[in-house]
Structure formats: C-alpha cells, structure tokens
C-alpha cells in the first residue's frame, strides 16, 4: 500500500503573471496532475464512465496556502500524501518544494489540500456518493501525520 507520491515540474512562462510569479490557479492544476500520476502509478482508473454505475471523483474541498512565490523557470517537486481515507472520501495534502541543482530545498513554498468523494450515478443519472471501491482501498494507505504536517 502507498501513502505518498511526487512529480517534478518546471514553471512555464504561460503559468506566470506579469511579474513572472506562478499564478495561483496553477497550483491547483499541478495538484491534480500529481494526483492523476499517483492514481495511474497504482494501476487504478481515474474514472469509469460506463453507465449504469459510472464512477467519478468530484472535489468537495480545495485549498492552498502560499508561503513564497514560485517563479518562471523554477523546478519544483509536488508531493502528495494521503491524509485521510473515509468511507466515501479521500483527502490529500500537497507540498511544493523547489529543486535547486537537483537538491530538494527544505522549505515548503505552498501547501494544498483536496478532498475528493467517490460518486456513482443513479437510475436518473444523478451523482450519488458511494463507498470507495475495494481496489482503491487495497492500494492506498494514510500517510503518518508527521510526514505531511509541516511547521507554519
């Protein structure tokens, strides 16, 4: 079972504002990219659109705290931790750290959280929360709080 995963990205010019600082919306895109790579690395499907019983993972909570800017050209590690697994929901914590000359810097520059809920569709096509499938539960485990909780 796995509790964490990371990707490396470089801040592109199109992801920045007029001051060359990464626009806040891109942190959320990068969190989703990290989540997608994590789920794929486990061999799990991201969605199943075959009706009836389509399965999806809508976001019910999303936040990000920005501590220091990321700038055009910065190379960044985005690490995701499984914070909590409930009956129908999973919460992830994300940490953004800069890589300088291949070394990970200790400071967390941004910290995000996403909570996703497992849903299916009822006979009328309406989304309904459903228990997380067994194949997800078999491959995910919660990370220890000490791994993802950092000092403010």
Residues catalogued as catalytic: 17
3-state SS, 104-144, equals ECCCCCEEEEEEEECEEECCCCCEEECCCCHHHHHHECCCC
- CA distances for 128 relative to 48, 70, 117, angstroms: 14, 38, 10
């Amino acid at each position: 079972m796995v509790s964490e995963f990371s990707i490396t990205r470089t801040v592109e010019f199109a992801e920045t504002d007029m001051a060359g600082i990464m626009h806040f919306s891109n942190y959320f895109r990068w969190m989703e990219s990290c989540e997608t790579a994590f789920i794929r690395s486990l061999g799990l499907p991201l969605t199943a659109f075959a009706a009836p019983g389509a399965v999806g993972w809508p976001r019910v909570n999303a936040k990000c705290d920005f501590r220091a800017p990321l700038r055009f050209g910065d190379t960044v590690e985005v690490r995701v931790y499984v914070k909590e697994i409930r009956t129908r929901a999973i919460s992830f914590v994300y940490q953004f750290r800069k890589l300088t000359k291949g070394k990970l810097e200790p400071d967390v520059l941004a910290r995000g959280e996403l909570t996703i809920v497992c849903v299916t569709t009822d006979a009328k096509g309406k989304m309904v929360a459903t228990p997380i499938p067994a194949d997800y539960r078999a491959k995910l485990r919660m990370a220890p709080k000490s791994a993802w909780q950092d000092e403010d």
